[in-house]
A and B are shown apart, each in its own frame.
Chain A
């Protein structure tokens, strides 16, 4: 199924990487908050696509961010994790709705969309900062970073989501 969908995803991938490394990695809000808006790729990715391709693509996305920000493979690990957990999170958030053929992210309620996005962000940031800091004595620092950066990411992702609505009817 190589069609427009495929190209949209490629375009999204490239643009999100560029936006992330050129703009958001330099934000340093309050000295340490760098929102990770590239998570939107996983939020926007079609639900019924091949799962293996999805995890692979997410890993590549994380890895390309890693290339630019000198963070070894922390982004890649965190992004692959949420790509793997995405179906579970979706089942948790959308419940039975997910089974319908006509299910679309745009049709879900606002609260469901936000919960879905927030869960993705929390898991991602938690994995990322745990790997980055890598010590249990700094648990407080990890939690602080997860919370602060997560909030910034959530707000920005919601703004982007309204700006570039995927399927507006």
Chain B
């Protein structure tokens, strides 16, 4: 039966998706889908230009304020080996937030030296991690994805946990594995932690909306309201950590040495 065969094929493809990484082939960053979304983005992007410009001006204002308060240095470091993070800008050409596994497509790809497992943020906060790339496009695993698992901590402390999503609502994500001895207050800010080689430390994520102890009664499960409005995304920044390879190699080496 053809039907049974096709059903098995589709189920096989779907089961594959339950593993850690999305299939290399079936994603919206490939050439056909990417260029269709780009065309549609080129047309629709005019409609909210004004609003987007205001956002960018606001962001510039904030950055300048921060810059003037640090005091401008008279020389800018040009030595690229000393730089910890590089930032590449891009635009969202396909957004999704109503599924259980949401992927966002952006218009930067291998050609712009985007690779898998780079962090993606907006001016307000964290967005996701690069999952797949084609030459001109990349798909991003959004924080609103059941596979998403990002290191996060409570601002100004070093208590860290994992940021996950329970697929209930696009405005909140969950922070788990925070020990119960940590004092928490509703409204506290959650930022990215230092344990990840993907995101720099202290990128804003959201604020605490509600917290409860989990079933083991020793860890908190915290509902976090995102700073980002996930339904309205356009300009994004991709964070490149040139040291990531070195960190990963070191970690791998340590583990292999440990086993001997």
Q: A residues bordering B, Cβ < 8 Å?
A: 18, 21-22, 25-26, 28, 31-34, 52, 55-56, 59, 62-63, 66-74, 76-77, 80-81, 83-84, 131-134, 138, 141
Contacts and interface: CB of A to CB of B under 8 A. Distances in A.
Interface string B89-104: 0000011111111110
Contacts of A70: 22, 26-28, 96, 99, 101-103, 105, 139
Interface of B: 2-3, 6-7, 9-14, 16-18, 22-23, 26-28, 30, 32-33, 36-37, 40, 94-103, 105, 139, 167-170, 231
A77 B14 contact: yes
Contact of A132 (B6, B28, B100): B100
B99 A71 contact: yes
B187 to A, nearest CB: 24
A80 B3 contact: yes
Contacts of A81: 3, 7
B3 A132 contact: no
A52 B2 contact: yes
Given A55-B2, A67-B26, A72-B16, A77 B99 contact: no
Contact of A68 (B16, B33, B99): B33
Contacts of B13: 72-73, 76
A22 B98 contact: no
Main SS at interface, chain A: helix
Contacts, number: 99
B30 A67 contact: yes
B3 A55 contact: yes
B20 to A, nearest CB: 14
Contacts of B102: 70
Nearest to B40: A22
A141 B99 CA distance: 12
A74 B100 CA distance: 12
A70 B9 CA distance: 17
Nearest to A68: B33
Given A28-B98, A34-B98, A70-B139, A77 B22 contact: no
B55 to A, nearest CB: 20
A59 B96 CA distance: 23
